[in-house]
Structure 1
Amino acid sequence: MNIPRSRAALTALASAAVLALTAALPPTAADGPRPRASVAVDWYDTTAETVAAAGAPTQVTNNRTWAIGWLAAARATRTVPARIAPEDRRAYREAALAAAVHRSLTALAPDRAERLDAALRETLDRVPDGPAEDLGVAAGEHQADLVLRARRGDGLDPASVNAPFAVPAPAPGVWRPTPPAYAPATQYGSRLARPFLLDRADRYRLPAPPALDSARYREDLAEVREYGAADSGRRTERQTETANFWYGSSLTLYTEPLRVALSRSKGTEAEQAELVALFHVALVDTQIATSDSKYAHRRWRPVTAIRTGDIDPDPRWTPLHDTPAHPDYPSGHTTYSGAAEGVLTALTGPTTAPFDLTSPTAPGVTRTYTSWRRLSDENVDARVYSGIHTRTADEAGIVLGKRVAEHTLRNAGELFRPL
């Protein structure tokens, strides 16, 4: 396989892209220093609460909700009307950010309107009354309406994301439904959806996975067989904990790391909104690209390969965790983590002060992190220890996610142009 494995090279490309974006930003010195907590953090928490309470059953749909609201906020706050005095720019941006996210969430989660209206009133009560507030609210609502209109019918609703997939006839290496549920394939329709910035879903399609008669394939399968079995005697307690910790939704698990980055940002509301928007735009496009590679290659899952393949078949082999209903290559968890790492590294640097992270699939466990890369490294290992992905699929996922993140950063100027 011709997949580059140099994290340094990929990070350098992303960093170069964000330098170009930063150079295009308007001066912000007149806005004054930013507090540790901000309107951006308040509305980040409101978005997270809204998605958790009223979100869709498909992860990419929920990333889309984040992307729409925060893209509108970034566009609304990026420039301030010339008639707004320098000392009132913060008021304008705070009002614009709150109004943009509020308008978007109210449209996408109407059942939460009462709670969202209360949050908007709370924000605007803290913003000085006057033209800056009024114009900011108008700008935020206008940009939200434009983004909502532009994304209408983009194919990222749950029914479209899980469009039916015709399962091929059984053949060596080809995906088929997996035990115990043998459920129909999911996420096939994501590859047919309209990205935010990618010109097409297959822009960064991965090369084919290792051939079934290759040494790499044999190594991959042997590792999963040993370390990913439900009754594995090789997997340590720490490795089992890693598998459990990262088994859940990537959106859920990355909500706190992104919040950490946002809350530690010293930028204006415009720069904070851009961080959140870039993250979620990259993640929507990454999941579209992931679906494209998965269903282009249709590689079978380890449980199928181990139970029915030609290499020491074991019909009773069972993975630690149930296998999701879509092909092995690449791992969606690691494409997500690769894109997240790419955006966070480029915009905030590779390391951060220590922060704690918990997981709903590992109750009572708290892990502490100081770098975004470690999240990716653990995701790679976790899917092997879960018995649901090969290491090749995991490592390829990191590469794909970073490529889409770089594309997002490189084209951010187009993304944030107010309409």
Structure 2
Amino acid sequence: MNSLTIRTAMVAVGTTALLATAVAAPPVSAAPAEGRSSVALDWYDTTAATVAAAGAPTPVTNSRTWAISWLAAARATRAVPHGVNHREYQDAALASAVHDALVVLAPARTEQLNAALHETLDGIPDGAAEDRGVAEGSRQARLALASREGDGLDPASSNAPFPVPPAAPGVWQPTPPSYSPAIQYGNRLAKPFVLRSADQFRLGPPPAVGSDRYKADLAEVRAYGAVDSTKRTACQTETATFWVGPSPTMWTGPLRVAVDRAPQSAAKRAELVALFHVAAVDTQIATSDSKYHYQSWRPVTAIRTGDIDQDPTWTPLHATPAHPDYPSGHNTFAGAGEQVLNTLVGRHIAPYEVTSPTAPGVTRTYTDWHGLTADNVEARILSGIHTRSADEAGVKLGADVAGYVLNHADELLRRL
């Protein structure tokens, strides 16, 4: 097949990404739309498997992998040359773009990616549509990769050192049990895809230490988020444990439902995946900006060392991540994801099931995207690792960033 010869040089092209194992994406129960498969779904699953098997230890780096590969696909499929079959061209372009980007970003998976590409192209008739689609996908992958070189989203840059500030009421300090150095500080220094700057949507300050809202937030976490809480129900404990995993992992399944249920072209499906993950990257950059601008202490520090009913032995249900409280990163991701899916897919959808790698055997059913966000808000309080103010502010920040990305979608998706 002539189209396959175009791939040979591409396998060796590109820079080496820093890669490590990642948590496997949770499966979602959803029958293929109208009983059919699609190249878009095939490559969605291939991308998820690639990130799960050879992903980075930093969530934003994995979101970047999705964003670059599917942005290339969206650009490659956006316009079809005159005189060729639309579906054949778009399928070839999508597969070529995602394949070429992933080979560079996850070189350890080259053999599997090459096999997936062969399978896709074997299902497309030989001819101009396939040849031109492959060539355009390859071109857009090269351009997308080049445009993001040195963007500061690699693991080392993401976890740039953060000097711990002097201890003071309300100020973040390393948290038990490991008292690890702060992580994800470098995200605020990275290059966004669409935002003008990391601080474009910087949040207003968190509730002042000692204010009524602060006291209410702390009392709620103290009561419901303790490892030995007598107020948290079994169902609430399940919610906390279900959503404790990384957001990019937890949202892989729901996004697949959206891609599967949308009876659209390969181009529209590529746009959906690309915009979701571009918004996810820019949201994580904006999250880091607000977190490290305010440097707000975590509930465990406030309860153990603060002036309000100090309890040096209080322990949260789940270990506290090593970065400031405000805003909650899980909820900025949820706010962004919900905004993209509400806008591009619609607010309501037929029931779908979600599972979680951190809650084996548990299945949850949703009929919209907001339910995912609502559960994330509650989960971080019930885990004892975030205040409600941090959660609610996070949802707002994510929605604001995603709205801006969507408003600039035409410019972002324009073919280079």
Q: TM-score normalized by structure 1?
A: 0.91
Secondary structure of 2:166's aligned partner: coil
Residue 42 of structure 1 deviates from its aligned partner by: 0.2
Distance 2:253 2:177 in 1: 32
Distance 1:343 1:68 in 2: 17
Distance 2:190 2:336 in 1: 18
Distance 2:252 2:281 in 1: 14
Distance 1:229 1:34 in 2: 46
Secondary structure of 1:41's aligned partner: helix
Aligned to 2:255: 258
Aligned to 1:83: 83
Distance 1:36 1:289 in 2: 38
Residue 97 of structure 1 deviates from its aligned partner by: 0.2
Residue 213 of structure 1 deviates from its aligned partner by: 2.1
Aligned to 2:37: 37
CA contact (8 A) 1:36 1:266 kept: no
Aligned to 1:182: 179
Residue deviations 1:28-80 (CA, integer Å, cap 9, x gap): xxxxx997421000000000000000000000000000000000000000001
**Amino acid across the alignment from 2:128:** P
**Amino acid across the alignment from 1:170:** A
Asked if residue 402 in structure 1 is aligned to residue 394 in structure 2, the reply is no
**Amino acid across the alignment from 1:291:** S
Residue deviations 1:123-144 (CA, integer Å, cap 9, x gap): 0011111001000000000000
Distance 1:399 1:255 in 2: 21
Aligned to 1:284: 281
Distance 2:107 2:195 in 1: 29
Distance 1:127 1:334 in 2: 41
CA contact (8 A) 1:66 1:277 kept: yes
Aligned to 1:60: 60
1:67-146 correspondence to structure 2 within 5 Å: 67-84=67-84, 88-146=85-143
The structure 2 residue matched to 1:379, chosen from 362, 369, 376, is 376
Distance 2:368 2:310 in 1: 40
Distance 1:248 1:367 in 2: 15
Residue deviations 1:279-307 (CA, integer Å, cap 9, x gap): 00000000000000000000000000000
Asked if residue 357 in structure 1 is aligned to residue 351 in structure 2, the reply is no
Secondary structure of 2:366's aligned partner: strand
Distance 2:328 2:37 in 1: 35
Asked if residue 322 in structure 1 is aligned to residue 297 in structure 2, the reply is no
Residue 267 of structure 1 deviates from its aligned partner by: 1.1
Aligned to 2:3: none
**Amino acid across the alignment from 1:306:** I
Asked if residue 274 in structure 1 is aligned to residue 271 in structure 2, the reply is yes
Aligned residues: 384
Residue deviations 1:369-403 (CA, integer Å, cap 9, x gap): 11100000000000000000000000000000000
Q: Matched residues, percent identical?
A: 67
Distance 2:395 2:359 in 1: 23
Asked if residue 159 in structure 1 is aligned to residue 156 in structure 2, the reply is yes
**Amino acid across the alignment from 1:89:** H
Aligned to 2:144: 147
Distance 1:110 1:384 in 2: 39
**Amino acid across the alignment from 1:198:** L
Instruction: Give the unaligned 5+ runs of structure 1.
Output: 1-32
Residue deviations 1:343-394 (CA, integer Å, cap 9, x gap): 0000010111111111111111111111100000000000000000000000
**Amino acid across the alignment from 2:62:** N
| CA RMSD after TM alignment | 1.0
Residue deviations 1:233-265 (CA, integer Å, cap 9, x gap): 000000000000000111111000000000111
Distance 1:125 1:96 in 2: 14
**Amino acid across the alignment from 1:155:** G
CA contact (8 A) 1:34 1:268 kept: no
Distance 2:365 2:324 in 1: 32
Secondary structure of 1:364's aligned partner: coil
The structure 2 residue matched to 1:238, chosen from 211, 217, 235, is 235
Residue 339 of structure 1 deviates from its aligned partner by: 0.3
Distance 2:210 2:262 in 1: 49
Q: 1:147 to 1:34 in 2, by over 3 A?
A: farther
Q: TM-score normalized by structure 2?
A: 0.91
Instruction: Give the unaligned 5+ runs of structure 2.
Output: 1-32
Secondary structure of 1:223's aligned partner: helix
**Amino acid across the alignment from 1:304:** T
**Amino acid across the alignment from 1:39:** V
Secondary structure of 1:356's aligned partner: strand
Distance 2:46 2:357 in 1: 20
Distance 2:132 2:148 in 1: 24
Residue 83 of structure 1 deviates from its aligned partner by: 3.4
CA contact (8 A) 1:34 1:267 kept: no
Secondary structure of 1:138's aligned partner: helix
Secondary structure of 2:251's aligned partner: helix
CA contact (8 A) 1:35 1:266 kept: no
Asked if residue 201 in structure 1 is aligned to residue 208 in structure 2, the reply is no
Aligned to 1:331: 328
Distance 1:341 1:323 in 2: 25
Distance 1:127 1:83 in 2: 16
Distance 1:261 1:191 in 2: 29
Distance 2:259 2:37 in 1: 9
